[in-house]
A and B are shown apart, each in its own frame.
Chain A
Amino acid sequence: MTARPPALDVDALIADRRTRIIVCCGSGGVGKTTTAAAIGLRAAEQGRHVVVLTVDPARRLAQSMGLSSLDNTPRLVQGLSGAASDPQEGNDSASAGSLHAMMLDMKRTFDEIVEAHADPDRAAQILANPFYQSLSSSFAGTQEYMAMEKLGQLRRADEWDLIVVDTPPSRSALDFLDAPQRLARFLDGRLLRLLTTPAKVGGRAYLRVLNAGLGMVTGVLTKILGTSMLRDVQTFVSALDTMFGGFRERADYTYRLLRAPGTAFLVVAAPEPDALREASYFVERLDTEGMPLAGLLLNRVTQVPARHLSAARSLAAAEMLEAPASGGPDAPSGFEALAAREMSGRSVRTDEPAHPEEAARLLAVSALRLHAAHMEQAAAERRACEQFTAAHPLVPVAEIPAQPEDVHDLDGLRRIGNAFATGRRADASTGAA
């Protein structure tokens, strides 16, 4: 018996009015966006005024919340239970919450910063700069920077008492912590200024020496990039320079916001080694940065009700049932023939069984093979989770059971949210019709 991690109580987290920001992070493909939406919905139905900020252009998620699409403006989600679906209607129940959802448009957000901080002429000049256009739409890190910027804006607006944010699907789960600082460092960087203002350099002797070194640097850069590139950067930086007090300051603000009391990080991971390895790095990193980790959410955990029937016994029984049907020792069994057909891309269906015994055999073999696979899967998931807990025994953990189908509506999101109510041992009856 291995030690169990402490239970992560998501319901308590969202019920605590002091929680103002929940950041869902984790590697790509683990279901962060859906989890963020499910948390947002659950909190709203428990009376919080919630805005969910996502960076994932998932149309299905938008549709599941009854919105045709998500954009850079928070949209009210209708159809919540126990909430005022239309604030104008004036549902005066004290517990009425609300849910808004939005998707980050990084270029739009960047443009807005420029427009808000520069006079119209200068703003137009910056927005038209080819380097700015490239930076605002494709720079690795701009999305992370703008996500954090948007988070800061939402927090300052103070219209919601809970912001649930989903982090960009970065190369690494840590990028959203690093990228804003990197971009800010880059834009505020002395190197950028020195390289882009060669005209101002000169006069003083030490600057001439520096200039000689820079000559080599710009020489290489010109070789790599060509001259017009550097000129674009130069005009961009000088336009930006006079505009506002530094990107680094803004990055520092969001960084402080992330460390402030009232912020909680939830690391989302699938119960498999790669995602949990990322989660491990992330937990360590949050700790180093002094950022408040609420716990680990294990998403899509395999649920096996019939636990007393082991994988080995289940497989042995299936093999026993398969043996008599094959035409001889060399003929592939029904299942192997099926697997071969599956490989060739053709239908996975078998023929309708002619006799009840054949139907019974087919059903039992499939059920037993499936059960064995589930047991093996569950065991592999458990091993992966135990490794995580061995390294981080104090990190609270909650599980979300694997859903048989994709989420299509608010009910689907609610089912995911229900896992939080039942604590870390998820509701096993979910989905089993």
Chain B
Amino acid sequence: MATRDTDWDGVRLHVVTGKGGTGKTTVAGALALALAADGRNVLLMEVEGRQGIAQLFDVPPLPYAERRIAVGLGTDARPGGDVYALVADPESALIEYLEMFYGMRYAGTTLARLGIMDFATTIAPGLRDVLLTGKAAEAVRRKDGSRGRRYDAVVMDAPPTGRIGRFLNVTSDLSDLAKVGPIRGHADTVQKVIRSPETVVHFVTVLEEMPVQETLDGIAELASLGGIRPGGIFVNMTRPLALSNGQLQAASAGSLDQSLLALGLKSAGLDDSTTLVAQLAGELSQQARSILAHDEQQERLDETGRPCYRLPWISGGIDLAGLYRLAAALRAQRAA
């Protein structure tokens, strides 16, 4: 059924993490749109209660329910499928869990009102996580009569890099606490999904030292957990600068040939002042310095051997059009 090869054929759960401020939610949204090309159905899931998806797609705040929020990226061959969104919170997931396995909906909602749910999810730190990852695992495995799986892919806007290992490695956290009991059994099932080849963890970063370091640390942490697969590195907000290597070096050193720049500006009808030339040279110089600094960071990422995808910086903030542009860029790079 695959119409073209992508880097993640066979993957059904895309966990997207990244340092705060790198655009994790935006990339998760763009990835969902890209995966929903070719008539596929995708679930985009949020677990931190920020309503980031609603803001990104410019829809009203989302409930704990799967709602269709967008149409996937269309191609020449086929229109896009549907992108659904779900905002999962531990308390609702726990009530749903009690209902599903024990038929205890009434007891669950009553206890929730008494604050017991908060209590339970508070005293067992891993419990929150297992309920949220459990919901994702359930969505991945859910069947839909005629057409096999309900969703072709699930994209999770996951907690930031600093917490991703603990979030996904729920069994070990829980095993210290809930040694036996049904939640433990549930956790084990969830772990099978998380550690299967159907699940990968993508990292979103920008080419600055700290986010790159967190990405490297995150990949190393996953490796140490065993069986959780790192996915791609999504380098966000890149800004290409069309200079030759020599020009870039000169600009970064502040020794750009300003008369050459003046000549170029003049042929565009901008020969008003030498101040302008100096100011624009200053902008080029700063940008050249960042690009060279970014190149160093890119090299560190290259060393991981993970596929890197580059997402252009969208000026003036991300709107729906910008999101589809990013989705197209991801598809062009075979990330989806």
* Chain A residues with a Cβ under 8 A of chain B: 27-30, 58-60, 130-131, 133-135, 138-140, 169, 171-172, 186, 191-192, 195, 216-217, 220-229, 232-233, 270, 272-275, 304-306, 309, 317-318, 320-321, 334-335, 338-339, 342-345, 348-353, 356-357, 359-371, 373-374, 376-377, 379-380, 404-406, 431-433
Contact = CB atoms under 8 A, between A and B. Distances in A.
B286 A432 contact: yes
B268 A317 contact: yes
Nearest to A347: B245
A228 B180 contact: yes
A131 B125 CA distance: 10
Given A343-B333, A350-B243, A320 B290 contact: no
Nearest to A351: B244
Contacts of A274: 52, 55
A133 to B, nearest CB: 7
Given A220-B104, A335-B242, A363-B284, A376 B315 contact: yes
Given A223-B182, A224-B98, A380-B315, 19 more contacts: A27-B21, A171-B48, A224-B178, A225-B178, A225-B181, A225-B183, A228-B180, A229-B124, A229-B179, A306-B283, A345-B333, A356-B263, A362-B243, A364-B267, A367-B261, A404-B289, A405-B293, A406-B210, A432-B286
Contacts of A356: 260, 263
A133 B332 CA distance: 47
10 contacts: A134-B177, A186-B122, A228-B179, A229-B178, A342-B240, A361-B267, A362-B242, A362-B247, A376-B315, A404-B290
B238 interface: yes
B21 A370 contact: no
Interface in B90-146: 94, 98, 102, 104, 107-108, 111, 114-116, 119-120, 122-128
B281 A367 contact: yes
Main secondary structure of the interface of B (DSSP, over half): helix
Contacts of A270: 21
B173 A318 contact: no
B336 to A, nearest CB: 14
Q: Which 6 A-B pairs have the closest CB atoms?
A: A29-B21, A28-B20, A364-B264, A226-B181, A433-B254, A29-B20
A367 B285 CA distance: 10
A249 B213 CA distance: 39
A404 B239 CA distance: 13
A349 B120 contact: no
B308 A345 contact: yes
Contacts of B240: 338-339, 342, 348
Contacts of A361: 264, 267
Contact of B246 (A28, A59, A338, A352): A352
A349 B244 contact: yes
B102 to A, nearest CB: 7
Contacts of B313: 373
A195 B291 CA distance: 59
Which of A58, A138, A233, A379 has the most chain B CB within a 10 Å cutoff? Answer: A138
B-side interface size class: 35 or more
Contacts of B309: 345
B285 A433 contact: yes
Given A131-B177, A362-B244, A364-B261, A405 B290 contact: yes
Interface string B257-269: 1001101110111
Contacts of A362: 242-244, 247, 264
Contacts of A432: 282-283, 285-286
B19, B246, B279: residue with the most chain A Cβ atoms closer than 10 Å: B279
A227 B183 CA distance: 12
A344 to B, nearest CB: 7
Contacts of A348: 240-242, 291
A386 B264 CA distance: 36
Contacts of B263: 356-357, 360, 364
B317 interface: yes
Nearest to A233: B123
Interface in B24-73: 48-50, 52, 55
A379 B240 CA distance: 20
A101 B261 CA distance: 46
B279 A306 contact: yes
Nearest to A56: B210
Contacts of B181: 222-227, 229
B19 A29 contact: yes
B270 interface: yes
A130 B176 contact: yes
Nearest to B239: A373
Given A406-B210, A432-B286, A226 B183 contact: yes
B117 to A, nearest CB: 9
B210 to A, nearest CB: 6
Contact of A343 (B48, B246, B310): B310
B184 interface: yes
A59 B128 CA distance: 30
A265 to B, nearest CB: 20
B276 interface: yes
Given A363-B264, A367-B283, A405 B289 contact: yes
B209 interface: yes
Contacts of A59: 213
A398 B126 CA distance: 41
Contacts of B178: 224-226, 228-229
